[in-house]
Amino acid sequence: MTFKPARLLIALLAVAAVPAFAQNVAVVNGKAIPSSRVDAVVKQVVAQGQQPDSPQLRELIKKDLIGREVMMQEAEKQGYGKNAAVKEQLENARQQIITNALVMDYVKKNPVSDADVKAEYDKAVAAASAEKEYHVRHILLATEAEANDVIAKLKGGAKFEDLAKQSKDTGSAANGGDLDWATPSSFPPVFSQAFVNLQKGGVTEKPVQTPNGWHVIKVDDIRAVKLPPLEEVKGQVQEGLMQKKVQAYQEELVKKAKVQ
């Protein structure tokens, strides 16, 4: 049996049409939704660990894309694409997407080395060795007179933890005024300056005033600042160094630009 020319042409057209149709997951009012869009969303969902790739996931994504396309077409039909505010948002989104692509490519071509991470970590360790952490307690009172009364009782032998029960700081009062371990920079300067020169077990001689009231402060203990092992913070250090690189790259481009 031989094909007539007309039948042969129809058969060839049908075969040629199959791959083109397979490239789309749907056609909405004549607008095609390419399968590559589904693939991209699936890749993102899987990478985030939300769900594994599956026919059910792909069907959900397909329905979502169809719903979006229908809404998009209706929005365009009603003229929202010509709205000035919408155009401005689109331009902002366009800039963000394009600059993100630039940054991702820059990061790929200029990676942070393990040696850079180790050097940055060692620098932080050296800086931390000069810092101290303090285990501090405090009693917050409404007036200076009340605070002086507490200091007098402490000098008379009263226990700090017992007197802390009257503290206005209800969050720490039940725990004997305990504020846990912290560096001086974690507190307001007027507060930290009052205890950094105290020895272990020392109590402020005078009440310390802050916007919250009058404080009596005790230093339970002092130790050198401890940093977690490099293995635990490697990712954070690496990210911080990369941010610095990208910032420097941006500043370099700004210097070269003609800005009026």
Residue 9 scores a pLDDT above 50: no
- Residues 40, 58: Cα–Cα separation, whole Å: 11
Q: What mean pLDDT do residues 103-114 have?
A: 96
Q: For the segment 118-157, what is each residue's pLDDT rounded down to a tens digit? A: 999 999 888 887 789 999 999 999 999 999 999 999 999 9
- Residues 59, 181: Cα–Cα separation, whole Å: 53
Place of tokens 């790259």: 249
Residue 12 scores a pLDDT above 80: no
- Residues 154, 176: Cα–Cα separation, whole Å: 14
- Residues 177, 195: Cα–Cα separation, whole Å: 15
**Residue 21, pLDDT score:** 47
Place of tokens 């059910």: 56
**Residue 159, pLDDT score:** 96
Residue 7 scores a pLDDT above 90: no
Residues recorded for the chain = 260
- Residues 132, 187: Cα–Cα separation, whole Å: 13
Q: For the segment 43-95, what is each residue's pLDDT rounded down to a tens digit? A: 999 998 888 999 999 999 999 999 999 999 999 999 999 999 999 999 999 99
Residue 4 scores a pLDDT above 60: no
Residue 13 scores a pLDDT above 80: no
Residue ranges of alpha helices (H) inside the chain are: 5-22, 35-47, 55-77, 84-109, 114-129, 144-155, 160-163, 170-173, 189-195, 230-256
* Angle, helices 35-47/55-77, rounded to nearest 10 degrees: 120
**Residue 66, pLDDT score:** 96
Residue pair 233/120 in contact (Cβ under 8 Å)? The answer is no
**What are the structure tokens assigned to 160, written together?**
């700090």
Residue pair 86/47 in contact (Cβ under 8 Å)? The answer is no
Three-state secondary-structure class, residue 70: helix
**Residue 171, pLDDT score:** 93
- Per the rule left: phi > 0, alpha: psi between -120 and 50, beta: everything else, 176 is left
Q: For the segment 184-235, what is each residue's pLDDT rounded down to a tens digit? A: 989 999 999 999 999 999 999 999 999 999 999 999 999 988 888 999 999 9
